[in-house]
Chains A and B, each alone.
Chain A
Amino acid sequence: MVNLDNLKKEANRILKEEKVKYIIGYKKSSNGLFTVPAFIKNPEEVEKLTWDPTCVYNLTRFLVDEKRKKAKEKEPDERPVGLIVKGCDSRALVVLLQEKFINRDDVYILGVSCEETGVLDEKKLAKTLKGKKVKNIEFGKNDNFVVTTKDGKTEIPAKEILAERCLECNANFPVISDILFGEKVKRKSDNPFESLEKFESLSKEERWTFWKEQLDKCIRCYACRSVCPMCYCDECVADTINFAVIAETTAEEKAQKIKWVEKSPVTSENFVYHLVRAIHLAGRCIDCGECERACPLDIPLRLLNKKLEKEAKELFGYEAGFDADVPSLVSSFKDEDPEDFIR
Chain B
Amino acid sequence: MEKILTKKSFPLWVKELVSYKIYAPQKNGDLWNFETIKKPESINLDFPNTVLPPKNIIFPQREVLLEFESSNENKLQVKETLPDDDPTIIFGVRPCDAKALTLTDKVFSGDFKDPYYWKRRNSTVLIGLACNIPPSPNCFCLSVGGSPHSKEGLDILMTDLGDKYFVESLSEKGSTLINLAKPLFQQPKAADKKAVEKTQAEAEKKITRQIKDIKKIPSILKNMFDSPLWDEESLSCLRCGICTYLCPTCHCFDINDEVASSSPVKGKRVRTWDTCQFPDFTMHSSGHNPRPDRASRLRQRIFHKFQYFVERYQNYLCTGCGRCISKCPVGIDIIEVLDKVRDYGS
A331 within 8 A of B: no
Interface residue count for A (Cβ, 8 Å)?
Answer: 46
**Stretch from A1-9, A108-116, A151-159, A291-299 contacting the other chain:** A291-299
Contacts of B270 in A (CB 8 A): 262-264
Known: A30-B336, A39-B236, A240-B280. Is A221-B242 also a contact (CB below 8 A)?
yes
A19 within 8 A of B: no
* B83 CB, min distance to chain A CBs, angstroms: 15
Contacts of A293 in B (CB 8 A): 329
CA distance in complex: A263, B242 (Å): 16
CA distance in complex: A120, B180 (Å): 50
A65 within 8 A of B: yes
B62 touches A266 (CB 8 A): yes
A227 within 8 A of B: yes
B236 touches A246 (CB 8 A): no
A226 touches B238 (CB 8 A): yes
Known: A227-B238, A265-B272, A294-B240. Is A221-B280 also a contact (CB below 8 A)?
no
CA distance in complex: A239, B274 (Å): 12
A29 touches B61 (CB 8 A): no
* A222 CB, min distance to chain B CBs, angstroms: 5
A203 within 8 A of B: no
Interface flags, B309-346, vs A, CB<8A=1, else 0 = 00000000000000001010111010110000000000
B285 within 8 A of A: yes
Known: A57-B330, A296-B246. Is A264-B272 also a contact (CB below 8 A)?
yes
Contacts of B238 in A (CB 8 A): 61, 223, 226-227, 294
CA distance in complex: A265, B56 (Å): 12
CA distance in complex: A322, B187 (Å): 72
In B270-297, which residues have CB < 8 Å from any A CB? Answer: 270, 272-275, 278-280, 283, 285-288, 293-294
B236 touches A34 (CB 8 A): no
B interface, size bucket? 35 or more
B327 touches A296 (CB 8 A): yes
CA distance in complex: A32, B332 (Å): 11
CA distance in complex: A37, B237 (Å): 10
B52 touches A29 (CB 8 A): no
Contacts of B275 in A (CB 8 A): 221
Interface flags, A213-252, vs B, CB<8A=1, else 0 = 0000101111101110000000000011101011101000
A127 within 8 A of B: yes
CA distance in complex: A36, B258 (Å): 40
B256 within 8 A of A: yes
Name B's interface SS.
loop
Known: A36-B330, A294-B240. Is A243-B246 also a contact (CB below 8 A)?
no
Known: A222-B278, A240-B280, A263-B272. Is A36-B242 also a contact (CB below 8 A)?
no
CA distance in complex: A31, B331 (Å): 9
A245 touches B286 (CB 8 A): yes
Interface flags, A52-91, vs B, CB<8A=1, else 0 = 0000010001100100010000000000000000000000
Contact partner of B61 (CB less than 8 A), chosen from A37, A247, A249, A265, is A265
Interface flags, A15-35, vs B, CB<8A=1, else 0 = 000000000000001111011
* A329 CB, min distance to chain B CBs, angstroms: 26
A222 touches B240 (CB 8 A): yes
CA distance in complex: A61, B238 (Å): 9
A207 within 8 A of B: no
B58 within 8 A of A: no
Contacts of A123 in B (CB 8 A): 30
Residue from A39, A133, A240, A249 whose CB has the most chain B CB atoms within 10 Å? A240
A254 within 8 A of B: yes
Known: A37-B236, A296-B242. Is A265-B283 also a contact (CB below 8 A)?
no
A263 touches B256 (CB 8 A): yes
Known: A241-B280, A265-B272. Is A31-B335 also a contact (CB below 8 A)?
yes
Contact partner of A31 (CB less than 8 A), chosen from B28, B29, B209, is B209
CA distance in complex: A34, B341 (Å): 24
Interface flags, B129-156, vs A, CB<8A=1, else 0 = 0000000011000000000000000000
Contacts of A262 in B (CB 8 A): 256, 258, 270
* A210 CB, min distance to chain B CBs, angstroms: 12
B239 touches A249 (CB 8 A): no
CA distance in complex: A61, B287 (Å): 25
Contacts of B12 in A (CB 8 A): none
B245 within 8 A of A: yes
CA distance in complex: A221, B61 (Å): 11
* B313 CB, min distance to chain A CBs, angstroms: 26
CA distance in complex: A62, B294 (Å): 12
CA distance in complex: A61, B235 (Å): 12
- Residues of chain A having any CB pair with chain B under 8 Å: 29-32, 34-37, 39, 57, 61-62, 65, 69, 123, 127, 133, 217, 219-223, 225-227, 239-241, 243, 245-247, 249, 254, 262-266, 290, 293-294, 296-298
List 27 interface pairs A-B (beta carbons < 8 Å), by A numbering.
Answer: A31-B138, A31-B333, A31-B335, A34-B331, A36-B331, A39-B235, A57-B330, A62-B235, A123-B30, A219-B241, A219-B273, A221-B240, A221-B275, A222-B240, A223-B240, A226-B329, A227-B329, A240-B254, A243-B279, A243-B280, A243-B283, A245-B287, A263-B274, A264-B270, A294-B242, A296-B242, A298-B29
Other A-B contacts than A31-B325, A221-B275, 6 sampled, CB-CB below 8 A, are A32-B331, A219-B273, A221-B240, A245-B285, A263-B272, A290-B329
| Chain A to chain B: the 9 pairs with minimum beta-carbon distance, closest first | A294-B329, A223-B240, A221-B241, A36-B331, A245-B287, A226-B238, A226-B240, A241-B280, A37-B236
